[in-house]
Amino acid sequence: MVPPGGRAAVNGLPLSAGLHVLSHKDEIRLNDGSAIHFSVEVLPQPRPYLGPAAKCGRCHTALEPGCPVVHCSCGVAYHHGSPSCFEYGKQPLCVACRRPTRMDGSGLWRPEEEA
């Protein structure tokens, strides 16, 4: 939403109606030239594992139903706890997509990755 009289552009196109349904990775450029990015991704959150039967991406032992797990944004699940398979090691990376597996969200998509 852009306030009346405000100007903004999404993905380089000026907004006509002041309203645009954002989609993932849209770039929003504001009057002052600054840009913000919209992402549908959320910070990793531990949640009880609900199946289907699968193995942890880190330790390769079974993910028990109901045990706390964290999903990478690519979908691979890791045990969560102490120690956490998700945040295992100093610079944990997802075994599948090589994104940082950190609870602080550093594994989320960032615009500079595609710059």
Shortest distance, position 94 Cβ to Zn ion, whole Å: 3
Q: Is 69 a binder of Zn ion (CB under 5 A)?
A: no
What does the buried/exposed string (b/e) look like for 88-114 if buried means 16 or more CB atoms within 10 Å of the residue's CB? Answer: beeebebeeeebebbeeeebbeeeeee
Give the whole-angstrom CA distance, residue 55 versus residue 115: 34
Report the relative pairing of strands 8-10 and 27-30 from DSSP bridges.
Answer: antiparallel
Shortest distance, position 16 Cβ to Zn ion, whole Å: 38
Q: What share of the chain is helix, strand, coil (3-state, %, to 5)?
A: 5, 20, 75
Please identify, among the stretches 11-19, 24-32, 42-50, 94-102, the one whose residues bind Zn ion according to the rule CB under 5 A.
94-102
Q: Is 96 a binder of Zn ion (CB under 5 A)?
A: yes
Q: Is 79 a binder of Zn ion (CB under 5 A)?
A: yes
List the x/- string, 38-57, binding to Zn ion by CB under 5 A. Answer: ------------------x-
Select the residue interacting with Zn ion from 97, 100, 103, 109 (CB under 5 A).
Answer: 97
